[in-house]
Amino acid sequence: MDILIKNCDLISMSNFRARYEKNMCVYIQGDKITKIGKDVTPKPGDKIIDAEGKICMPGLINTHTHLSMSIFRETLDGYTLQDWLTKKIWPMEDKLTKEDIYFASLLSCLEMISTGTTTANDMYFMTEDTIKAVIDTGVRVQLTRTIMDTDETTKTRIEELKQLVEKFKDKNPLITLNVGIHGLYTNSINTVREMIQYANENELPVHMHFCENEKEVQDIRSMYNVNSPVDIIEREFKDTHTILAHCVELTEEEIERLSKLKINIAHCPISNLRLGCGVAKTQKMINSGINVSLGTDGQGSGSNLDLFDTMKFTALLQKGVFEDAQNMDSYKVLEMATINGAKALGLEKEIR
C-alpha cells in the first residue's frame, strides 16, 4: 500500500530545497519517497495520513550504540569508564546468551522506532541475534562483531567477523557492515593492522572507540610508544573510511590533524557526561571540516536511545561550556542527527 502524508510542515536536509516548508505533501511508493510538493493526488486504495500541525523530517541516525545493552540501563552511577567496563559490564556480558542478545536488541529497536531513529550503527557480539531483531522490526542498521584481543579468543572473534561479512554483506538493503575495533587500548598494533587491511580489502568502514577519557589516552601512549593517539590514526588509518566514537580528549591541534583524513566522529555527549569523561570540542571539529554525527552509546552509559535528548545536550553543551551562543544552531544539530550520520556510515546515497 502506498502512502500519502498531507498537510505536514516539512524539514529537509537537502541542499536543493528550502529548509522549512509549510503545508506540504509527501508521497511514498513502496519503500521510497517519490514525490514532495504542495498538491499530490493519491491513487485509490492509498493510505492517507493527515499531518496538519505536525513535522515531517528525515529519520534520525544513531552512529554509535550497543543495541544489546538495553538491559544494562542505569548501571554506572559513580563509576569511571574503565571501572564500569572491567567491574560491571564485561563480567555481565560474559553471561549473556543468544536469547538475551535477541530480546535486548528487540527492546532497543522498539525504543528507536518510538523516538524517531530509523538507522543505527551497532557494535557488539553475537551479532546474528541482533540481526534477527532488526529484521523483525524493520529498522536499518550498520553493525559489526567487535574485535578485542585481550585474551586467547582473538582469533575466534576475528573469524566470527569474517563469517558475518561473508553471510550478510550485500544481502539485505537494510543491513550493512563495518569492521569494529573496540579501541586502540584493547588491541595490539598487529590486530589493528589486520583489521584495517581486512576493511580496506572488503570496502568496509572501520568503527572504533577513540580518546574517550584521559586514562585511555595515557594507555594508548604507553602501549604504542607515541606522543598522541592521533599519531596512530595518521600512520595506520590514513586511507580508511573510519568512524571514531567519542573523541573527547583531543586538542585543537589534534582535531586539525584528523581533519586531513577520512575521519568521521560520532559525538556521544550524554554518555561522556555520565562517565565523567568531559565534553568533546564538536564545534571545533565541524569548523575544521570533520563530518560529525551523533550517537547515544549503549543505554548502560547513555541511559536511552533518544536522539532528540542527545540533540538537546549537543547544542547546550557547546554553547555553555565554550561560552559562545553562536555555537550549534538548531539546523546544524539536525544535520548531525540525519545527513551527517548517513555520510559517516557511507549511506548518503541511500538515506537522504
Strand-strand pairing, 179-181 and 175-177? unpaired
Contact 212, 246 (CB under 8 A): yes
Strand partners, 10: 21, 56
* Nearest C-alpha neighbor of 291 from the set 275, 267, 311: 267
Instruction: Determine the pLDDT at residue 200.
Output: 97
Q: Which tens digit of pLDDT belongs to each residue from 283-317?
A: 999 999 999 999 999 999 999 999 999 999 999 99
Helix axis angle for 189-201 and 229-236, nearest 10°, is 40
Q: What is the DSSP string of 128-173?
A: HHHHHHHHHHT-EEEEEE-B--SSTTHHHHHHHHHHHHHHHTTT-T
Instruction: Determine the pLDDT at residue 110.
Output: 98
Strand partners, 20: 11
Q: How far is Cα 344 from Cα 225, in angstroms, rounded to an integer? A: 29
* Nearest C-alpha neighbor of 350 from the set 67, 127, 166, 140: 140
Q: How far is Cα 291 from Cα 116, in angstroms, rounded to an integer? A: 22
Spatial CB neighbours of 16, under 8 Å, sequence gap ≥ 6 = none
Q: How far is Cα 230 from Cα 200, in angstroms, rounded to an integer? A: 20
Q: Which tens digit of pLDDT belongs to each residue from 10-54?
A: 999 988 899 999 999 999 999 899 999 998 999 999 999 999 999
Q: What is the DSSP string of 67-95?
A: GGGGGGTT--TT--HHHIIIIIIHHHHTT
Q: How far is CA 285 from CA 73, 348, 351, in A?
A: 30, 20, 23
Q: Which tens digit of pLDDT belongs to each residue from 230-239?
A: 999 999 999 9
Work out the pLDDT band at 73, boundaries 50, 70, 90: confident
Domains of the chain by range and CATH? 3-56 (2.30.40.10), 60-344 (3.20.20.140)
Side chain identity at residue 36, one-letter code: I
SS3 126: coil
| pLDDT higher than 80, residue 55 | yes
Q: How far is Cα 65 from Cα 310, in angstroms, rounded to an integer? A: 12
Side chain identity at residue 90, one-letter code: W
* Nearest C-alpha neighbor of 332 from the set 320, 318, 352: 318
Instruction: Determine the pLDDT at residue 224.
Output: 97
| pLDDT higher than 90, residue 222 | yes
